[in-house]
Structure 1
Amino acid sequence: MSVEQAYTQCRAIAKREAKNFYYSFVALPPHKSNAMCAVYAFMRKADDLADDESLSIPERRQQMAHWLDDWRHARAGAPTDDAIFVALNDAQRRFQIPDHLLEKLVQGTTLDIQETKPGVRILEIDGEPYEVYESIEALYDYCYLVASVVGLVCIRIFGYRGAEAEKLAEETGLAFQVTNILRDVKEDGERGRIYLPLDELQAAGLAPADVVQDDPQRLRPVLQSLAAKAKAMYLASDHLIPMLDRDSRAAMWVLAKIYRMLLERIESMEFDVFSERVSVPTATKLRVLGQGMVMTLWNRVAAR
């Protein structure tokens, strides 16, 4: 399999699955867009293995272990016909993406199938076990692995100057993931996972059982508190964008804009994330992408 064919397959995965992320990929130069699609396809595969509910947890762990062994062998030079591995190897070489960041990325993905999780308590609600994060600090540790690490990978592809960019990328990733958590309260609860931290619930006079009651009115103080934290963290993206290479700034702007709009929609619906899944309409995303493409052209002219 050629590298070009591998990137084409990864792009198809990203276009089909990436939702918000894919709109930012389009605003990048082709070689950077290809690399982002390869990284996304790698993340998607890890997510799919971890979330495959047709398999037991032990079976998922075994599948994940086999897949990781195959990836590590491919990284060491073993022949592979896996499109994701071929494309990712090329992206890592082009943009000096270290293995340890991708290992951390997978570590975050596999948290949900680990036997024990730091900062997570198993509580019984209506006779069913639920995983509950004990504190906002424990939740941020989780968000770091599943989102901030993604940001650290992305800025290596985008190109950046200044050590501060890494911290800003981490904080921007936290903002994205907290937004996802707010959107997915219902779906996560149906899977036995409560990401609204226990300390935040208790401060509002609530208990984990209240999260699975589908009552946005009751949960609103906690959801508002997390939304306020996310809004403050989105300011990091404003400082990060000027530190990126000119040809990548629009991509970061598009991504941050769409996620901010998602948070704003959640707020405008008074945090009713139970009646329907909150999303940014495709037409709105395309409008944001159009603005990003204009920004891209302007940056190209300014760089001459």
Structure 2
Amino acid sequence: MTKTNQELFEKHAEDFAYCETVIKKYSKSFYAAFSQLPEKKAKSVYAIYAFCRLADDTVDLAHSEEKLLALKQQLDAFALGEIPDEPIWRALSVVFSVYPMNLAPFYDMIEGQKQDLVFTQPETFADLEDYCYYVAGSVGLMLLPLLSDQAEEIQSPAKLLGEAMQLTNILRDIGEDNQMGRIYLPKEMMRDYGVTEAMLHASKPTKSLIDLWEAVANEAEQKYEASFAMLPLIDPNCRLALTAAAMIYKEQLTVIRENHYLMLDRKNYVSQLRKVQLLRKAKKDVEKRKDDSHQSTL
């Protein structure tokens, strides 16, 4: 007898609970936003996030090519219907059985992690955008089948949102990444703005570094804005979560500006109170877009 979707989620409740603990621990921003989804979709997002976290930690914490290869082999087995006996994979097996998922962006994520394993500073902004797709734009494509029944039509703006979020990560983590021996700011842009590697070791940013930071932030903000083109084709019960995720993540740029660009020796965070305020703002924004759409059809 074929199990219903509800029965599948109930059977794997502990697996999804494990995935939820991962997203709650490592990304309070994403959790605040995507917990607004209907229950099964929220749990599915948690499972996808847990996979991405696993891939990221394999490189950032373990620094292991062997473990990354093992993860790819698990994905290969999963693609053949052989489910690795671990919570993340069991939860993902439910997601793939319920939604029309595509494995390609999961492989792209692993390819992106390979780039971090053997890190090379991007030469141009186009190179940085390419990297941002593999480690974050791919996540947008992973999530689309949960958020829209017209996923094929909005892949481009979904990728843009993921890329915008990754650029935000890079701008937030300049100091931390530098300590790990990684500079994601493109060499070409650093030359153009007169930014040297020595400036990244300081406790306070120079004006030239702030100018470069703002140039990249402007690119990220344009991608955020362009990504909203997909909202009309996002399922109505998912628009709030997606809008909130974009708003909360983008707000990190505002926080850094308010903190006078002190990001070389510390991380800047969006406070819980601010997240609640942004969630309310997102609700109003979604309602306004709905009203504007309704008016335009009259």
Structure 2: unaligned runs, 5 residues or longer: 1-9, 291-298
1:298 Cα shift?
11
Q: Corresponding residue for 1:9? A: 18
Q: Corresponding residue for 2:47? A: 38
Q: Corresponding residue for 1:21? A: 30
Q: Corresponding residue for 2:238? A: 248
TM normalised by structure 1 equals: 0.84
SS at match of 2:82: coil
Contact 2:140 2:158 in 1 (8 A): yes
For residues 271 and 191 of structure 2, the distance between their equivalents in structure 1, rounded to whole angstroms, comes to: 35
1:105 to 96, 99, 109: 109
For residues 92 and 263 of structure 2, the distance between their equivalents in structure 1, rounded to whole angstroms, comes to: 35
In structure 2, give the amino acid aligned to 1:172: L
1:185 to 164, 174, 193: 174
User: What's the CA shift string for 1:59-82, capped at 9, x where partnerless?
Assistant: x11122223323432442335420
- Say yes or no: does 1:213 pair with 2:213: no
In structure 2, give the amino acid aligned to 1:217: T
For residues 89 and 162 of structure 1, the distance between their equivalents in structure 2, rounded to whole angstroms, comes to: 20
Shift of the 282–21 alpha-carbon distance from structure 1 to 2, 3 Å rule, reads: same
1:174 Cα shift?
1.4
Contact 2:34 2:242 in 1 (8 A): no
Q: Corresponding residue for 1:278? A: 268
Runs of 4+ in 1 over 6 A off after TM superposition: 293-300
Q: Corresponding residue for 2:87? A: 83
For residues 231 and 22 of structure 1, the distance between their equivalents in structure 2, rounded to whole angstroms, comes to: 22
1:233 to 183, 198, 223: 223
For the aligned residue pairs, the C-alpha RMSD in angstroms reads 2.6
2:77 to 53, 73, 76: 73
Q: Corresponding residue for 1:288? A: 278
TM normalised by structure 2 equals: 0.86
Structure 2 matches for 1:126-205, cutoff 5 A?
A: 132-161=121-150, 163-205=152-194
1:160 Cα shift?
4.6
Shift of the 162–94 alpha-carbon distance from structure 1 to 2, 3 Å rule, reads: closer
For residues 19 and 243 of structure 1, the distance between their equivalents in structure 2, rounded to whole angstroms, comes to: 26
For residues 297 and 93 of structure 1, the distance between their equivalents in structure 2, rounded to whole angstroms, comes to: 32
Contact 2:175 2:263 in 1 (8 A): yes
Contact 2:202 2:264 in 1 (8 A): no
Shift of the 205–296 alpha-carbon distance from structure 1 to 2, 3 Å rule, reads: closer
Q: Percent identity?
A: 27
The 10-residue stretch of structure 1 (170-179 or 33-42) with the greater mean CA deviation from structure 2: 170-179
User: What's the CA shift string for 1:164-189, capped at 9, x where partnerless?
Assistant: 52111111111111111110000000
1:229 Cα shift?
1.1
User: What's the CA shift string for 1:22-59, capped at 9, x where partnerless?
Assistant: 11211100111011000001111111111225xxx4xx
Q: Corresponding residue for 2:293? A: none
Q: Corresponding residue for 2:254? A: 264
SS at match of 2:195: coil
The 10-residue stretch of structure 1 (285-294 or 39-48) with the greater mean CA deviation from structure 2: 285-294
State the aligned residue count. Answer: 282
